[in-house]
Structure 1
Amino acid sequence: MIRQASILLLFTLAMTMACQQQLSVEQAAESITEQSLMEPIEVLSSDEFQGRSTGTIGEEKTVNYLTEKFEEMGLEGGMPDGSYTQDVPLIGQTTEQDAQVRITRNGSTVHEFDYYTDFMAWPSNLAENVSIEDAELVYVGYGIQAPEENWDDFKDTDVEGKILVVKNNDPNEDPGLFKGETRLYYGRYDYKYEKAREMGALGVLIVHTTPSAGYGWSVVANSWSRERFYLRGNEAMQNSPTEFNGWLTEEASTELFNSAGLDLEEQLQAAENRDFEPVAMNGLRLSLDLEASYRNKDAKNVLATIEGSDSDLKEQYMVFTAHHDHLGVTQPVEGDSINNGALDNAAGVSALLNMADAYKQIQGDLKRSVLFLVVGAEEVGLLGSSYWAEHPTVHPGNVTANINLDGMNVYGKTKDIVLVGYGRNSVSDVIEAEAEEEGRVVKPDPHPDRGYFYRSDHFPLAKKGIPAIFPNPGTEFVDKPEGYSATVDSLSDANYHSVNDEINEYWDLSGMVQNVRLYFEAGYEIINDTEMQSWQEGDEFQQARMEMIEAAPE
């Protein structure tokens, strides 16, 4: 009888512990509250942090704050030596703003375009001085070479030493080509500049239109007129035959094409055809002088880890990312010059911190380890995440998945959420299943033409094969007045990359609580899944995934 009683007692204790384990997961999720989310946002978006720009005292304050928070939570440093910070070696470039583009024909000036208002340009090979005199211009459509689509905009045309004029985006009229309206990497400006370098072009100007870019000219001008940063030691850039990269406004492009006897709209439309061939600009030539100064400056990534409890799986990691930097101090607007970056991305950092704290509370329940990677230099070209991807603290083949937190829902509860990258990998499936349990619906990116999948910190990790997803806020608001979604859209457009990105009277963090708890629970499922996450068959990152898993240390 005593033995039976002991067995019964042990069974009861085991069942109790099991229940407590399940409850602890729920309680950990419930620890994520409006108050716990608001606190880091208020700190990081305060004027004291001066907009958290790369290479400034604001970044230093941010890194110190994050390190202290992780230490308070009891998380270990994510670097091999146990420290919390990874130096990201950068070189900063500042281009003088008094430059002009001069367009001539037969030695006579046809146009003079002004820096900032008509064009943006900067040395693409880290030169201090660029001097181009009477270089030939050629329009190359989208400037794409894609063998898998049987697409070549260059058609064996020799563009070495010439200035390329390039259409933004990628072909989108035929749903059977380039995934239709979904922007691929071919449509990103990075690709245009890389292709120009590969083809030996002297320079490249991308024709900007708001529909093709997904943002207005002010975003281009404000982003590229600031100090720009590059990873130090980039030999390909330093040895590049391309001397400058740039953008040209739609208005200036129209004038340029008209002077060549061409209609801009007709030429942009012609680029939609696979049979497009490069178009010479009828004797027009470009002259441009640029001066730039440089400084070396390290940005910093902040890393913290929670070790998994399973002896077989703890060497594998789930990675959560968020960028801690913003635009810093810029030209005053009505007396305000600090870009506080409350939504972009103090909110995402707060979400990551809250999830880290919640996971730490249930560390014993986590089979895999978790890496919280708070990257710097996102706003200057995803450089912090790119550096980690090239110098990872965890081999990419041992990373099961990445959820990237960049901008959150700060305007109230919604029935839906948006996943940028919806349907591309199994991470998307896990989040969708968790949402369905809550009676919510997951939707794909409503603006696939804007290429958001290639515009945040999950992208460098995806290029290394890591199944990554980028959650975005939904639009079907609950208990809000009619037209509220349009109001949110208007606020978001007005505040994006401006001094207006601050906490305001419209903020309602109930929706952020709802979403962060959802990502926490989905992450919990991924951390404890017996299988690693994967890309869908045929995805552009599937091959890299297989190669990385093959190369991963056991």
Structure 2
Amino acid sequence: MMKRFLLFLLGATLAGCMQSPIEEVSEGITEEQLLEPIEKLSSDEFQGRSTGTVGEEKTVTYLVNQLKEYGIKGGMPDGSYIQDVPLIGQTTLEEATITIQKDGEEIHAFDYYTDFMAWPSNLEEEVSIDEAELVYVGYGIQAPEENWDDFKDTDVEGKILVVKNNDPSSDPDLFKGDTRLYYGRYGYKFEKAREMGAAGVLIIHTSPSAGYGWNVVANGWNREQFYLRDSEAVESSPTKFNGWLTKEVSTALFESAGLDLEEQLTAAESRSFEPVLLDGLSLSLDLRATYRQKDAQNVLGVIEGSDSKLKDEYAVFTAHHDHLGITKPIQQDSINNGALDNAAGVSAVLNLARGYEKLQPQLKRSVLFLFVGAEEVGLLGSTYWATHPTVHPGKVSGNINLDGMNVYGETKDIVLVGYGRNSVSDVIEEVAAEQGVEVKPDPHPDRGYFYRSDHFALAKQGIPAVFPNSGTEFINRSEEYSATVDSLQNANYHTVNDEINDYWDLRGMVQDVRLFFEAGYRILNAESMQTWRQGDEFKQKRLEMLEEVGGQ
């Protein structure tokens, strides 16, 4: 290894190059090198890379072969490349209808997929709800630290909860204002329903509150759903089903109870809100589901650090390799190719791996490349690694998670989800400033992106993590171009249209990946491990993990 590195330095010198080795290697991150894995992984051959399919198997094989080609060792304790993620797959049959009765007479029949989405809890094969009462519980949040309780003393056991999406945002002094917290995530709503003994829960969908349209809900939850076999989701609870309602259906439902939906949504912004029984209404629903056991797979590659004292500490780069697979055809196209989400992020991490391998003698800490599966079905691959880690979280310096990249051209800026929360953010900002790039915080904190990608699973274990997003100030483009890009991304997200298109310009991706390459290099060689800001929600967990390994 040392001989190869010395020859590399000699070659650079003979060529009259005055660049440092890291600059030389960084220049090897090119549009061509980035495009090749994206084209491969987003081709129809990979069938949309859905969890538990032939497409996933092909993806895993491709990633392992790429790492081997780069000379990168497997990241599992035995030197292999694959971590099996034990899952149970749930497929809900579509012939389901929600019927609403008023005073014993049916007044509404809502259709699966177009009007609502629902699936059994507790991995039940059959669920039957017969004329259960409905109660609107606002955001469905209990947060003692905010002196907030949407349930008050109302007994909701055996009832169907109708819940507003997101968390309160009208008061900047509550729930961090516009920033969505975990309280605003659908997972919290389902967990709270189980805790309160509800028979079921239906979240009211609106595009502004979710950050995406109904098509994302319908396509996402219509597919086979997966759960970790040892998770709470497989434990018995009184909640028989979880689900979503469209805003249109919700409006009709509330009107039938003599209520105005918009007024009720507004009322939920107040601490004084109390649950509202949808008086006279009841809900009936029959659901059936089938199950199978299937392992997803994480792919791990590792480059060992060169410093005898620091090589047992790691920086981790993550990217999820899965996508939505095959869904309902749109204009005869049923394959969700996932070019941007997330063949692009996978390509970025592959290129980082190839670059760092060339600099191995200069890396004090080790680096782990973690390509996780089952992200699209609930961050399950990253959650499994975080709870069954190959490296103790107290030995992980920091995480940069790449989920989607800038494929639309060079920008003057870059967005960091997690900006200012930890020192990983500081390192990226430092490098960006040297390169003339402005780092900005998430422009849509209300959408809760920090809790929607794989870095979240690592952050919950105390690992300082950030989630870079594309900038918006495009260089040498018209003022309308940014709006066009935003429109494209919204229209293509989680659809069959997520493919390489005529707007793609990978110069922006080259710029960003080189930035992360330099930032990662500094993290790997820093005197100390990365840290959370004082008062951050993950700071205490970090301290606990460091204590477990005898750190500070």
State the distance in 1 between where 2:481 and 2:60 align.
Answer: 36
Match of 2:169 in 1: 172
Q: How many residues are treated as equivalent by the alignment?
A: 539
The Cα offsets for residues 98-155 of structure 1, whole Å up to 9 and x where unpaired, read as 1111111221112111111111100011000000111111111101111111111111
The answer to whether residue 107 in structure 2 is matched with residue 110 in structure 1 is: yes
The answer to whether residue 425 in structure 2 is matched with residue 425 in structure 1 is: no
Give the secondary structure class of the aligned counterpart of 1:417: strand
CA contact (8 A) 1:396 1:552 kept: no
The answer to whether residue 203 in structure 2 is matched with residue 206 in structure 1 is: yes
The answer to whether residue 76 in structure 2 is matched with residue 79 in structure 1 is: yes
Match of 2:294 in 1: 297
2:363 to 358, 361, 366: 366
CA contact (8 A) 2:162 2:204 kept: yes
The Cα offsets for residues 456-477 of structure 1, whole Å up to 9 and x where unpaired, read as 0001111111110000000100
Give the secondary structure class of the aligned counterpart of 1:82: coil
| 1:459 partner amino acid | F
Q: What is the CA-CA distance between 1:414 and the residue it aligns to?
A: 0.2
1:250 to 243, 247, 250: 247
Match of 1:272 in 2: 269
CA contact (8 A) 1:162 1:201 kept: yes
State the distance in 1 between where 2:409 and 2:533 align.
Answer: 32
The answer to whether residue 500 in structure 2 is matched with residue 503 in structure 1 is: yes
The answer to whether residue 68 in structure 2 is matched with residue 37 in structure 1 is: no
State the distance in 2 between where 1:75 and 1:20 align.
Answer: 27
| 1:216 partner amino acid | G
State the distance in 2 between where 1:392 and 1:341 align.
Answer: 27
Give the secondary structure class of the aligned counterpart of 2:20: helix
- Equivalent runs, 1:96-495 vs 2, <5 Å: 96-235=93-232, 237-495=234-492
The Cα offsets for residues 135-194 of structure 1, whole Å up to 9 and x where unpaired, read as 111111101111111111111211111111100000000000001001011000000001
Q: What is the CA-CA distance between 1:236 and the residue it aligns to?
A: 5.2
Give the secondary structure class of the aligned counterpart of 1:303: strand
Q: What is the CA-CA distance between 1:235 and the residue it aligns to?
A: 4.8
Match of 1:527 in 2: 524
The Cα offsets for residues 481-503 of structure 1, whole Å up to 9 and x where unpaired, read as 34111111121112111111111
CA contact (8 A) 1:463 1:544 kept: yes
CA contact (8 A) 1:103 1:286 kept: yes
| 1:265 partner amino acid | E
State the distance in 1 between where 2:40 and 2:401 align.
Answer: 21
What TM-score, normalized to structure 2? 0.96
CA contact (8 A) 1:37 1:351 kept: yes
Give the secondary structure class of the aligned counterpart of 1:400: strand
State the distance in 1 between where 2:251 and 2:45 align.
Answer: 44
Give the secondary structure class of the aligned counterpart of 2:341: helix
Identity of aligned residues (%): 74
| 2:472 partner amino acid | T
Give the secondary structure class of the aligned counterpart of 1:357: helix
CA contact (8 A) 2:407 2:506 kept: yes
The Cα offsets for residues 326-363 of structure 1, whole Å up to 9 and x where unpaired, read as 11111222221111111111100000000001001111
Q: What is the CA-CA distance between 1:381 and the residue it aligns to?
A: 0.8
Match of 1:7 in 2: none
Q: What is the CA-CA distance between 1:517 and the residue it aligns to?
A: 0.3
State the distance in 1 between where 2:119 and 2:53 align.
Answer: 22
Match of 1:8 in 2: none
CA contact (8 A) 2:121 2:233 kept: no
Give the secondary structure class of the aligned counterpart of 1:262: coil
| 2:341 partner amino acid | D
State the distance in 2 between where 1:240 and 1:312 align.
Answer: 48
| 1:283 partner amino acid | G
CA contact (8 A) 2:327 2:334 kept: yes
| 2:406 partner amino acid | N
Structure 2's unaligned 5+ residue stretches are: 1-9
Structure 1 residue ranges, 4+ long, deviating more than 6 angstroms after superposition: 19-22
Match of 2:65 in 1: 68
Give the secondary structure class of the aligned counterpart of 1:179: coil
State the distance in 2 between where 1:260 and 1:166 align.
Answer: 16
What TM-score, normalized to structure 1? 0.95
State the distance in 2 between where 1:328 and 1:377 align.
Answer: 12
| 2:355 partner amino acid | A
Q: What is the CA-CA distance between 1:27 and the residue it aligns to?
A: 1.0
CA contact (8 A) 1:21 1:365 kept: no
| 2:371 partner amino acid | V
CA contact (8 A) 2:97 2:285 kept: yes
Give the secondary structure class of the aligned counterpart of 2:47: helix
Q: What is the CA-CA distance between 1:552 and the residue it aligns to?
A: 2.3
State the distance in 1 between where 2:159 and 2:30 align.
Answer: 57
Q: What is the CA-CA distance between 1:22 and the residue it aligns to?
A: 7.3
Match of 1:6 in 2: none
| 1:532 partner amino acid | M
Give the secondary structure class of the aligned counterpart of 2:78: coil
